[in-house]
Every structure is written in structure tokens, then in C-alpha cells.
């Protein structure tokens, strides 16, 4: 994962340059996950039956709930930008808190989902995993790696939004100086977009 650089929040910063920097960063992230998606498709084409069989171990309901959570969180952070632009700082903060709550709910769901799999021995290095067919082992290796990397992005995004919230509270980010909040929104939309691809790749093969 690339290094996320928070733009300077001073009055003399260039909002357009900051936004361009964020778009370049997001492009490197898209290259990273795009490469992983290519790897996934190559191995899936080589192990189609094993990938299909392994996918039945995943809980589509939890995956669907997490998809709804992230789509809703993208809406709340977009609404927070509009609220701040209209001068409603209080509403913007409520919406940012809601985004953080959705991020936490996503991670909690993922924690329990992973926990159930690990309890059943479906994790690289565990006995049950070691006795699975090679194609199924590959599916779960990619599943843990790609969804784990995505979860890391959720954590980074939550921290980024937390920094922005502090600056909104202090009046350093306002409707007139909103580029930092917009950049956090762009990052969060990327996190949402990546999950929208991950969900069908792993959960909806069948």
C-alpha cells in the first residue's frame, strides 16, 4: 500500500494541487489492486472448480451486509462535504461520525467472519487448511490477503477521516477550505469501490 500523505492544511496551500496529488495516490492504489485482480483471475481460470467449491464456505449474508455498510458510508461522507460547504459544521461532524461508525461496523463484521473461518481451521498454516486441495488453499490465501489488505485500507481511511474531523472541529477545515475533507472522501470512495469488486469475486462465484 502506498504512503498516504495528508495535504498541508494552511491557508496558502493549493487545493487543486492537493486534489491532483490525491488522484495520483489513488491511481497507484488502483494499480495495486488491479494487479491483484489479474492474479486472481489467472488462478481462478486454472482452478475454476476448486474456487467455486471454496466460495461456498463464505457467508454471502455477511458480505452483503458489509457491502451495504460501505455504500452507505460513502453516502454519509459525501453528505458531510455538502453540509460543510453549506456552513452546517454540526451536521458535517454528525455525518463524519456516522462514517466512522460504519467503518467500525465493517471491521467488526470482518473480524467475526474471519474468526469463524479460523475456528474451523480454514487459515493458512492450520491443519484443516493444509489438507485442503491446492486450488481451495489458493482461493483462501487470496481471500485473506486481498480482503485483509482492503481492511487495512479501511483502518487507514478511518484514521484519515479522524484527522479531518479534528481539523473541522478546530475550524482549520471549513466550507471555504474543504480540500482535505474532499480528499478523505475520495479515498473512502476508493475503499468502497474496491470492496464492490472484491465482494462478487469471492462471495458470488456460484
> DSSP 3-state assignment of 124?
coil
Q: How far apart are CA 27 and CA 31, in angstroms?
A: 6
pLDDT at 20: 84
Q: Which CATH number fits domain 15-203: 3.20.20.120, 3.40.1190.20, 1.20.120.80, 2.60.40.10?
A: 1.20.120.80
**CA 22, CA 27: separation in Å to the nearest integer?**
9
**Cα angle for residues 80, 27, 172 (degrees, 5° grid):** 35
Residue 24 has pLDDT above 70, yes or no: yes
**C-beta of residue 90 within 8 angstroms of C-beta of residue 98:** no
Q: What is the DSSP letter of 8?
A: P
Q: pLDDT digit string (tens) for 55-68?
A: 999 999 999 999 99
Nearest to 151 by CA among 107, 185, 101: 107
**Cell 471454496 found at:** 54
Q: Where are the domains of the chain?
A: 15-203
Higher-confidence residue of 95 and 19: namely 95
> pLDDT digit string (tens) for 163-190?
999 999 999 998 888 999 999 999 999 9
Amino acid at each position: 500500500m502506498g504512503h498516504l500523505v495528508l495535504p498541508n492544511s494552511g491557508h496558502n496551500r493549493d487545493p487543486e494541487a492537493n486534489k491532483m496529488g490525491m488522484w495520483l495516490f489513488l491511481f497507484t492504489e488502483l494499480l495495486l489492486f488491479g494487479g491483484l485482480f489479474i492474479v486472481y483471475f489467472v488462478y481462478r481460470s486454472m482452478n475454476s472448480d476448486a474456487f467455486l467449491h471454496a466460495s461456498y464456505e463464505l457467508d454471502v449474508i455477511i458480505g452483503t451486509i458489509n457491502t451495504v455498510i460501505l455504500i452507505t458510508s460513502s453516502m454519509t461522507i459525501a453528505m458531510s462535504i455538502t453540509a460543510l460547504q453549506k456552513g452546517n459544521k454540526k451536521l458535517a461532524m454528525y455525518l463524519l461520525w456516522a462514517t466512522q461508525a460504519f467503518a467500525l461496523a465493517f471491521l467488526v463484521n470482518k473480524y467475526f467472519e474471519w474468526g469463524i473461518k479460523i475456528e474451523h481451521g480454514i487459515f493458512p498454516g492450520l491443519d484443516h487448511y493444509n489438507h485442503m486441495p491446492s486450488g481451495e488453499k489458493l482461493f483462501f490465501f487470496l481471500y485473506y490477503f486481498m480482503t485483509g489488505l482492503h481492511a487495512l485500507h479501511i483502518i487507514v481511511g478511518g484514521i484519515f477521516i479522524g484527522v479531518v474531523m479534528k481539523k473541522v472541529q478546530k475550524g482549520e477545515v471549513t466550507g471555504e477550505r474543504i480540500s482535505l475533507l474532499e480528499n478523505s472522501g475520495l479515498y473512502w470512495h476508493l475503499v468502497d469501490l474496491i470492496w464492490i469488486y472484491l465482494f462478487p469475486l469471492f462471495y458470488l462465484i456460484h
